[in-house]
Amino acid sequence: MGLSKDSKINMTSVYKRGENNLITDVSGVKVGHFTLKDQEKNIHTGVTAILPHGGNIFKDKVLAAASVINGFGKSAGLVQIEELGTIETPILMTNTLSVGTCLDALAKYMLKHNEDIGVSTGTVNCVVTECNDGEINDIRGQHVKQEHVYQALENADVLFEEGDVGAGSGMICMGLKGGIGSSSRIVEIDNKEYTVGAMVLSNFGFPGLLRIDGKPVDISSITEKKEDDVEKGSVIILIATDIPLSERQLRRVAKRSTVGLARVGSYLGNGSGDIAVAFTTANRMPHYGEESMVDIKMINDRVIDKVFQATAEAVEESVYSSLDHAHTVTGIRGKKVYAISEVL
């Protein structure tokens, strides 16, 4: 996956791509979608679920960090990630006005699978991220329901679709149809191969900004850049790895996602909600345990540049992939958004 084999998008890459060129090349990670599309009712939205590993994530948390690059966003759960440096639920992506529905559904999902939550132990920090799909989707209709969240979680697998699916159904990126995109890179450390995987929900930029491999892409044939265009979209970036990293190092990795965004033409504008979340499957924090000490491994900072560069590449290709797999859509108020295939 990632960029399709017959894609007209070409990018320079230093690091080797993973087996499937997806975030799920990091062992244990799975992704699932539920897509809501009804042309007559102007519904173009959905839910995307990311499972950090195949076990009980509440009882076996992954070390994590978040980077709020530009905070024009309504995501839930980032505060506790910042404070404790762990993720203890699946991560959901959806549209802005469906965060509450998804949060409630994810809480019920966690309660169902953990009878101790709120009884013999504390509550749970559900993580829900969002972008605004209101230019294409009837966002006021709040069409995402709790059963759609459960279906996305149930659909989670190693192989998954990209483009205008799940949470990406109604997203616009650089004036073109955006959505879900993913990619991965292989990093060698001490003669052992590790994986850095990325996934984006691309909904940022405006016509005229897009760069591919540093070169401007002219889309004036299908859409016009307006003089008063400003950055008012969003992007959610997830970075997964099996490299042992501390939460401090994960925060540094999350920040490097800005390099990938800059390469495709974003300037992280005032009205854009740009958020990155990074986690490692190599370091776990048990919810229960008799031991007072937990062993955590981390790489030496002198070799972390490899991780930074691989992250930048994976994020950059993930954005291209979200465009590459998307289709031309006509949405609410007659808004037509073309796929990049109409241009290249």
Name the residues annotated as catalytic: 234, 272, 274
Q: How far are the Cα atoms of 168, 240, 337 from residue 253, in angstroms, in the given order?
A: 24, 10, 33
Residue 11: what are its φ and ψ, rounded to 5°? Answer: -140, 150
Measured from the Cβ of residue 122, the count of other Cβ atoms closer than 10 Å reads 10
- According to DSSP, the residues that pair with 33 across neighbouring strands are 48
- Closest by Cα among 37, 14, 62 to 238: 62
Sign of the Cα torsion 210, 214, 215, 216 reads positive
**d(C-alpha 194, C-alpha 196), whole Å:** 7
Q: Strands, E, within 39-100: which ranges?
A: 43-51, 60-71, 86-87, 91-95
Instruction: Please answer whether residues 52 and 91 qualify as being in contact, where contact means their C-beta atoms are separated by less than 8 angstroms.
Output: yes
Quick one: residue 220, left, alpha or beta (phi over 0 = left, psi -120 to 50 = alpha)? Answer: alpha
